[in-house]
Each structure stands twice: as C-alpha cells, then as structure tokens.
Amino acid sequence: MAEGQVLIAIDAMGGENSPFKVLKGAEIFIKKVKNTKIIFFGDEKIIYESIKKNNLNIYDFEVVNTPDTISDEDNVNTILRAKKNSSIFKGLEFAKNNVNSGFVSSGSTAAIMVLSRLHMGMIEGIDRPAICSLVPNKKNYSLMLDLGANVIVSGANLFQFALMGFCYYSLINKNTKPRIGILNIGTEYNKGLEFLQDAADLILSSFLKEYFIGFIEPNKITSGDCDIIISDGYTGNIMLKSAEGISNFITSNLRDIFNKSLINKISYKLIERDLKKLKDQVNPDIYNGATLIGLNGISVKSHGNANPIAFSYALKQCHNFISNDLNKQIIKSIKNI
C-alpha cells in the first residue's frame, strides 16, 4: 500500500441494480480522487463480467470473492452464524483490520448495523450507533441523526446522539456555534412521546443546554434554524424518505411543465441557471452516504435504490471521513467532554 493511501472496502452486491450501480459509482468516484484503492467484495465472476460488459474504466482495485449473500429477510442469527463469507461481513472485517480504511454498502441496514458493531465495536460511553447524514436547508445544511438505525430508543440514547452530533458538527464547522433541536410534533414541552421529553431533560442538565433550542417541528427542518436535528431512527427514516419523494415529485413535474410547449421551453432557458442551482440544492443524490456514527471505525450506508452517481457520493463521504481522520477526532472530542 502506498504511503497515505486511502482504502475503501465496498459491498458490490448490496442494494438494487448491483453490482453495476456500485461499479459505475466507483468509476465516477475514482476519476475525481487520487491515492485511493478500491476493494470490491462480492461474486468475483459477476463483478468482472459487469466491468467488461459495461466497458467500465476502474483502476487500482481488487476483488475479493465472497460466495454468501445476505437478504433483507435474514435474521441476526443467520447473519452472524451462516453468512461469514458475505460481502458485508468480509468488507467490514477488512475495514477494521486496515489503517486509513472504511466500508461502504447499499445492502441490508440490519446486517450493516449488526456486523459493524461486531467488527468495529462502539466508542466508549456510546451504547448505539446512529445513522448520521447531512440534509439541505435554506442556509446550507443541517446534521441529522438517527435516520434509521434504531427504531426504539430511550432518552439516554437521544442524548448520546446529540453529543455525537455536536462533536461531529463542531469538527466540520469549527467557527459555528451549533444549535441543537429534537424533532417532535410540536414545540411545547408537554408535546410528544415521553422519551423525547426525557432526552430534552438530559440535554438541559448537561453542557449542551447552551446550544439547545428545544423541540422543532418537521416543517422547520429546511429553515436553517437548527444545525443538529435529533430523532429516533423510525421517525428520521420516514422523514428522509418522504423528503426524497417530494423532491423527486417536484423536479419531475417541473420537467414536464417546461417541456409542455415552446413558450415553456423558452421560459426554461431564461431561468435555467437558477433552476439548476435549485436542483443541486435539493438533489438527494448528493447527500447519499450516511455514516454510522458511534462506531470505532468507518462504516457508510448508501441508499439501497441509489443510482451510480448517488453511490459515488457515498464513496466521497467515506473518503472524506478517512482522509480527514474525522472518526478519531470525534472519539477524542467525546473523551475530552
């Protein structure tokens, strides 16, 4: 391995339209970065056939053959005991045992969660990892967690999410005093489920109270008034998928409107630059790649239905974490609190 080289282990078989979307995403990504080596884990024959069939130009890579396949129907016992030669198991094992490395997969969230904890372990003082990602807003972006790792949580779990979110956000926005909010159905203290109120009490009794703005409603997520949005995984995942669906609905309808007539096409040309800026701002593809924060390693979850461009952004997210040593900095920040 070259000095300072980044290694990215990739589950080539997970998610829809794999391995093509994974391989094409890697091709897109590798054109933009240097000193990075890709290790694909999956069915060796299918991977090489897809590269040849689609004339993909991927360089500095290896393929590790993994015959086992994990499906969304597999339970925890099956994943741990009978799927030790799967692309997720072996990819995470590689990422744990090699420096300057991380793992990316579009596969089963449950499998990634279970095997990430098995191989990488947890940061001391953190009980559960949370799926953490950037979401766009009017001003720039917010950090949101959890987006699907933990369906059932306690107030203590949400407090830990707030703590990790604060450490992460403080690293990527060093000159900003972050504002922390808890996603709820109302802003009043007596609104919402008990664990949300418990989390608010824990935050208010810690140093984070200086940054806490209270409960925020879903319609304020894109306002830019909150930098770190805390949620249970069930609510966060529904919010994320709803936002992506609405974004796709709006952009699809706009496309139809501007293609409807010659006048509409001319109108489109007049505001094309502004529309492109809007599309880039709300395009879910560029926000693909959510980090499992709280682990003693780097594991990135891509959407199962991600296209090749979106998957390339998940690889970019993983690369940024590795090259900037963000995970070790988060661990250090938590220990110093």
| pLDDT higher than threshold 70 for residue 239 | yes
Rounded CA-CA distance 65/71 in Å is: 18
Mean pLDDT along residues 182-204: 92
Contact 227, 176 (CB under 8 A): yes
CA–CA separation, 299 and 82 (whole Å)? 22
Domain 127-287 falls in which CATH fold? Isopropylmalate Dehydrogenase (3.40.718)
Whether 130 has a pLDDT exceeding 90, the answer reads yes
* Mean of all residue pLDDT scores within the chain: 90
Helices vs. strands in the chain: H and E counts, helices first: 12, 11
pLDDT tops 80 at residue 207: yes
Give the number of residues written for the chain: 337
Helix (H) / strand (E) containing 41: strand 36-42
Q: What percent of the chain has pLDDT over 70?
A: 97
- Structure tokens that stand for 218 in this block: 């879903």
Q: What is the pLDDT of residue 89?
A: 95
Nearby residues of 105 by Cβ (< 8 Å), 6 or more positions away: 10, 11, 14, 15, 87, 88, 91, 112, 299, 300, 301, 302
Mean pLDDT of the 132-145 span: 88
* Cα 307 from Cα 25, distance rounded (Å): 8
The per-residue pLDDT for 37 is 95
Q: What is the pLDDT of residue 280?
A: 67
Instruction: For residues 150-176, give the mean pLDDT.
Output: 91
Long-range contacts of the stretch 56-64 (C-beta < 8 A, 24+): 56/23, 56/24, 56/27, 57/27, 58/23, 58/26, 58/27, 58/30, 59/30, 60/30, 60/36, 61/26, 61/37, 62/37, 62/38, 63/12, 63/39, 64/39, 64/40, 64/90, 64/94
Sign of the torsion formed by the C-alpha atoms of 280, 7, 85 and 54: positive
Q: Do domains 1-123+294-324 and 127-287 have the same CATH topology?
A: yes
Q: Can you give the residue ranges of every domain in the chain?
A: 1-123+294-324, 127-287
Is the predicted pLDDT of residue 201 greater than 90, yes or no? yes
Tell me the mean pLDDT in the region 193-222. Answer: 94
CATH class of the domain whose range is 1-123+294-324: alpha beta
- Closest by alpha carbon to 246, among 221, 283, 204? 283
Per residue in 106-122, pLDDT (tens digit) is 999 889 999 999 999 99
| Tens-digit pLDDT profile for residues 29-59 | 999 998 899 999 999 999 999 999 999 999 8
Predicted pLDDT of residue 176: 83
pLDDT at 74: 82
Residue 90, Ramachandran bin (φ over 0: left; ψ between -120 and 50: alpha; else beta): alpha
Q: Looking at the whole model, is its pTM more than 0.85?
A: yes
The pLDDT tens digits of the residues spanning 262-296 come to 888 888 788 878 777 776 666 767 878 899 999 99
CA distance 164 to 170: 10
What's the average model confidence in pLDDT over 254-261? 85
Cα separation, 14 vs 184, whole angstroms: 33
Instruction: Specify the pLDDT at position 3.
Output: 66
